[in-house]
Structure 1
Amino acid sequence: MSRHRHEITATVTSVVLAGGSSSRLGGEDKTRLRIAGAPVLERVLRAAPAGRRVVVGPATEDGADLAGRHGAHFVREDPPGSGPLAALARGVGELTRADDGESGVDHIGTAGVQTVLVLGGDMPLLRPETLTALCADSAATGRVVALADSDGRTQYLCAAWPLARLLDALAAVENPEGGWADGSLRSLYAQLGEGELTTRAAIGAEATDVDTPESLAEARRAAGPRIALAQITVSEEFETTARTVRRAVADAAAAGAHLVLLPEATLTPFGTDLRRAAEAHHDAFESLLQELADQHALVIAAGSFTTADADRVHNTVIVRGPAPGSHATAAATDDAGGAADDPIHLEYRKIHLFDAYGHRESDTVAPGRELVTIDLHGTRLGLATCYDVRFAEQFTALARRGAEAILLPLAWADGPGKSEQLRLLLQARALDSTSVVLAADQAPPTDYSGRAAHGIGQSAVIGPLGQIRQELGREEGMLVVDLDLAEIAAARAALPVLEHAADLPPA
């Protein structure tokens, strides 16, 4: 999957228009307003496909810095405040001009560019997978493909254009006396003939643009936390795994995640002495997670093992957030500037044990009894582990307790049909609970041939109506998702299975 995405985005340049002052917002630059802890423009840049990016905006102190942190070229509006059409022409001009060394940016050029993704810098809930799909559809059809909001209106500032067609359309609407100043984007789209423009329906609140107090409030209500799913290979050597965890958490923090989910059995892989690992390394592992949570100002959930009865352990997901008084906690304030969320210190013990396909997890692991949820930045998350995914009642119970998304660390056992089963089960549990399911599996070692469960990869983000939003292959990698609470609410309104469930008579 990652290779396919690269093949699409390698031919794409994103032009982001960031001239964002709004009179209806008191003259504030709407692209710098904070949504779920990040400026709107930064959220747009995070969503834009990998590859070249051009940001066009006024000469502000942070514009070039913000663009540069995301590998984008910053181009000043010229003249300032000349409107979105002029800004778009300025950005596209950066692709075609000869570098004169005066603009302060390197020459970009059109080599290899087939598609230009035109984006507004005031759309904080855009999804990477949607933008990639717009570009793929445009490249496949040769048409302009735009996002349409819930009312069916075309979002002119979220559209993929074939480069040649965009250049032609800009040339057609250029004013010989004044370039494109004060021109309308509507006039640009008016150049398209019948069948040249198609649209893709928005999901949740992703078509929201921040232009009024009402739309700003809507975006803030819909914006859930950013969650990273780290698909890693777990070593039998604790120090090797500790280095892997450090790297994964640092990568998640660099991506702006509020929480990073590591796989089941991150402490030590199945097939090792779990009790010995729990006694020898769990405390150090827990301390490592707390240290990294404090250092990177995020919450970490990871699979460990803790001692239980006799010689058994609990298969435990430990969840650690920034400690009170740490520099991380002080930085983690809400959008209104209030106090940070309370530190998180939770554990979930796996309820359903994998006594199946010839395995006997219950020989070494004692079951848990309690459901666990986490409240993070106004969103409730449920916890489950691996084999739990085969039991729909656990997921619906978590949803009835208010969980809007469910974290599912995995060490999925390989075997005939197991890949297909995992994908089907993830989709089914999302549908059962009308929740987003966030699954992080181990990446299997390339040379492993044993029977113990070491993962099959296939970490995934599943939408509340069972759609596969993102998915990895077998190799190490990371998925990052911004939860859209409006999508979850809409799914539950359309498919109210949580309300319709009836109490069945006992068997």
Structure 2
Amino acid sequence: MSSQPHETSATTFAIVLAGGASSRLGGTDKTRMEVAGATTLERVLRSAHVDERIVVGPAGDGGPDLARIHGARFVLEDPPRSGPLAALARGVAEISGDLSDGPGGGATVLVLGGDMPLLRAETLTALTSTSASEQKVAALAGSDGHVQYLCAAWPLARLRAALDALEQSDGGWANLSLRRLYDQLGADELLTRRAAGAEDSDIDTPEALGAARDAAGPRIALAQIEVSEDVEVTRRTVRAAVAEAAAAGAQLVLLPEATLTPFGTDLHAIADAHHDSFEQLIQELATTHRLVVVAGSFTPADGGRVHNTVIARGPDDENRPADEDGPADENGPADEPLAADAAGAIGEPGAVRAEYRKIHLFDAYGSRESETVAPGEELVVIDLGGARLGIATCYDVRFPEQFSALARRGAQAILLPLAWADGPGKSEQLRLLLQARALDSTTVVLAADQAPPAQYTGKAARGIGQSAVIGPLGQIRQELGREPGLLVVDLDLEEVRDARAALPVLEHGVPLPRD
């Protein structure tokens, strides 16, 4: 869906400095510490969306897999352990070898630390874009304004010049600090971008490691797919989307509303004939790929109607290998009791088994969803990887009280499958509503819409694309167009905590009189 072939004529590189052992961490290689199910080095590699990745440091046991999955190349500085500047120079030399057929004057280099587990792909993309367009150094800065030297994008020519100016008379850059590199820059050569949440965290101490683990939520994929009227075609599409999400390291994949069958079909007949097998497919994929799958379906209801049902399934506990069983993390208290079918132990995807029935039905813009769909009544949240996730569906997004109620039940993010109806102004409305609901609830809103069929001219809602990740203060973090695709986000729970401290709307809300 969204995978791209590896570029051989790379113009954007990442040099990742890895292999640093910390005495305060017992001499352990801090780039191989695990945070939220992946090593810090892997988390950095998968956030750097560039043409080529060079890791300066030992490959270790997992190096071949990292190289294969992320297109990374491992090299060693010479002599070893000669300091970060020498390691960076080794990476630049490797780039120079790749560009032997040209000067590479337009190339951009991301200089990254392999022990920064909460870097965001959109932030690194923004730094790279800024550096390339302005031909200056663009670096991440913490909330205190401190420049993070190992999260910056450099024009390759400027990086080479700064290294050349520091090379020692007997050759090499041994024992020189990165600060010396930045001292080469003029006052107008450095641009900064303020970090959000815990994205500027690095792992130097046990306390820093603990804080990073506390901030790191699950990796979630939003699969924007085209839903066919042919159930078997859609099943193949779902299989491919879940496999791609699993390959991207996702712990949960969100599929659109009405993934079972699109609106405009005989919902009741298809729910009767195919929901059970669709649910079995979702369970099978969850178990096979070891992640949670959340998808829109339809289940039979009284009076010839159906429920617009979102099903969430984690791996089947009965099929889990024995060595994967372990104690569940403790779950802090919620403001209200959970729906009975949604409770699950944090960090235990096998415990996730929930169903949410859409509460607000789309009787608007000439549509009458209530004629074929019966409303649900219960709010639902699920727990995964240290995070609590609320579930809502499409038209629910127009009702802020539902999102605030989910947040008061502890939700830090809200999963929102969509089959958004097209029409004048509807794209602008969707974007505005997603941002508003994130602000109302200070949650991360994760919206996965259907990709509209190219030749579709019918009146039933078949999506407009525009799947998006919205930050808890309404920032559009990532967004797709109308074509099928995949968005992947690592939840930063510190960002949600910061947003709620800055904008305590959940505390300030008071009951209002009703007419």
Q: Which residue in 2 is equivalent to 1:296? A: 289
Distance 1:296 1:332 in 2: 16
Match of 1:41 in 2: 41
- 1:180-259 to structure 2, matched below 5 A, reads 180-259=173-252
The one-letter amino acid paired with 1:81 is R
Aligned to 1:444, the other structure's residue is in SS state: coil
| Mapped pair 1:494 → 2:502 | yes
SS at match of 1:126: coil
Structure 2: how far apart are the matches of 1:108 and 1:382? Answer: 53
Equivalent-residue separation in structure 2 for 1:136 and 1:50 (angstroms): 11
Residue identity matched to 1:380 = R
- The structure-2 alpha-carbon separation of the partners of 1:156 and 1:261, relative to structure 1 and needing over 3 Å to count, comes to same
After TM superposition, give the deviation of residue 68 of structure 1 in Å: 3.0
Alignment of structure 1 residues 146-185 onto 2, 5 Å: 146-185=139-178
CA displacement at 1:406 relative to structure 2: 0.2
Cα distance change, pair 339–428 in 1 and its aligned pair in 2 (3 A): closer
Following superposition, the deviation at residue 192 of structure 1 comes to 0.8
Q: Is the 8 A contact 1:332 1:341 kept in 2?
A: no
Q: Write the letter of the residue equivalent to 1:405.
A: A
Q: 8 Å contact 1:18–1:57 — kept in the other structure?
A: yes
Q: Give the SS at the match of 2:303.
A: coil
- TM-superposed deviation, 1:49: 1.5
Deviation at 1:341, TM superposition (A): 4.7
Please state how far the C-alpha of 1:183 moved relative to its aligned partner: 1.1
TM-superposed CA distance for 1:62, in Å, is 2.6
2:340 corresponds in structure 1 to: none
Q: 2:351 aligns with which of 337, 343, 356?
A: 343
Structure 1 residue 478 displacement after superposition: 0.4
C-alpha separation in 1, matches of 2:389 and 2:321: 21
Task: Give the drift of 1:79.
Answer: 1.9
CA distance in structure 1 between the partners assigned to 2:305 and 2:89 by the alignment: 66
| Counterpart for residue 385 of structure 1 | 393
1:387–1:370: structure 2 CA closer, same or farther, 3 Å change rule? same
1:436 aligns with 2:444: yes
Q: Which residue in the other structure is 2:270 paired with? A: 277
Contact 1:333 1:341 in 2 (8 A): no
Question: For the structure 1 residues 348 and 330, does the alpha-carbon distance in structure 2 shift closer, same or farther, using more than 3 Å as the test?
Answer: farther
Residue 128 to residue 333, structure 1, CA distance change in 2 (3 Å):
farther
Instruction: Provide the rounded CA distance (Å) in 2 between the counterparts of 1:404 and 1:108.
Output: 50
CA distance in 1 between partners of 2:101 and 2:446 (Å): 37
**Structure 1 residue 504 and structure 2 residue 512: aligned?**
yes
Residue 104 of structure 1 aligns with which residue? none
Tell me by how many angstroms 1:326 deviates.
2.1
Within a 5 Å distance, the mapping from 1:71-220 to structure 2 comes to: 71-97=71-97, 111=104, 114-220=107-213
- 1:166 alignment partner AA: L
What is the SS of the residue equivalent to 1:310?
helix
Q: Give, in angstroms, the shift of residue 64 of structure 1.
A: 4.0
CA change 1:344–1:335 in 2 (3 A) is closer
Name stretches of at least 5 consecutive residues in structure 1 with no aligned partner.
100-106
Distance in 2 (alpha carbons) for counterparts of 1:215 and 1:247: 38
| Alpha-carbon distance, 1:482 to partner | 0.3
CA separation of 1:70 and 1:333: change in aligned 2, threshold 3 A = farther
Aligned with 1:287 (options 273, 280, 283): 280
- 190 and 339 in structure 1: CA distance in 2 versus 1, 3 angstrom threshold: closer
Write the distance in 1 (CA, Å) between the matches of 2:381 and 2:98.
Answer: 56
Kept in 2, the 8 Å contact 1:95–1:108? The answer is no
Q: Distance in 1 between matches of 2:322 and 2:399?
A: 36
Instruction: Choose 261-270 or 50-59, whichever is displaced more.
Output: 50-59
CA distance in 1, matches of 2:256, 2:122: 23
Q: Given the alignment of the two structures, is residue 399 of structure 1 paired with residue 407 of structure 2, yes or no?
A: yes
Q: Relative to structure 1, is the Cα distance of residues 328 and 352 closer, same or farther in structure 2, using a 3 angstrom cutoff? A: farther
In structure 1, what residue type is equivalent to 2:14? S
Deviations 1:341-361 (A, max 9, x none): 542111000000000000000
Once residues 207 and 45 of structure 1 are traced to their aligned partners in structure 2, the CA distance between those partners, rounded to angstroms, is 15
Take 1:327 and 1:213, find their aligned partners in 2: how far apart are those partners?
31
> Partner amino acid for 1:354?
F
- Residue 391 of structure 1 and its aligned partner are, at CA, apart by 0.2
**Correspondence for 2:425:** 417
CA contact (8 A) 1:329 1:340 kept: no
Question: Contact 1:59 / 1:77 at 8 angstroms: preserved in 2?
Answer: no
3-state secondary structure, aligned to 1:97: helix
For the aligned residues, what is the CA RMSD? 2.2
For residues 221 and 161 of structure 1, what CA distance do their matches in structure 2 show?
31
Q: Structure 1 residues 474 and 122 mapped into 2: Cα distance closer, same or farther (>3 Å)? A: same
Normalized against structure 2, the TM-score is what?
0.92
Q: Cα gap change, 1:333/1:126 in structure 2, threshold over 3 Å: closer, same or farther?
A: farther
Query: Sequence identity, in percent?
Result: 70
User: How has the CA–CA distance of structure 1 residues 187 and 163 changed in structure 2, closer, same or farther, with 3 Å as cutoff?
Assistant: same
Q: Secondary structure at the match of 2:311?
A: strand
Name the CA shift for 1:294/1:244 in 2 (closer, same or farther; >3 Å): same
Secondary structure of residue in 2 paired with 1:207: coil
> Partner residue of 2:484?
476
Contact 2:328 2:347 in 1 (8 A): no
| Cα distance in 1 for residues equivalent to 2:143 and 2:201 | 10
What's the counterpart of residue 475 of structure 2?
Answer: 467
CA contact (8 A) 2:315 2:349 kept: no
Residue 328 of structure 2 is aligned to residue 320 of structure 1: no
Task: Say if 1:330 and 1:369 are closer, same or farther in 2 by CA, change over 3 A.
Answer: farther
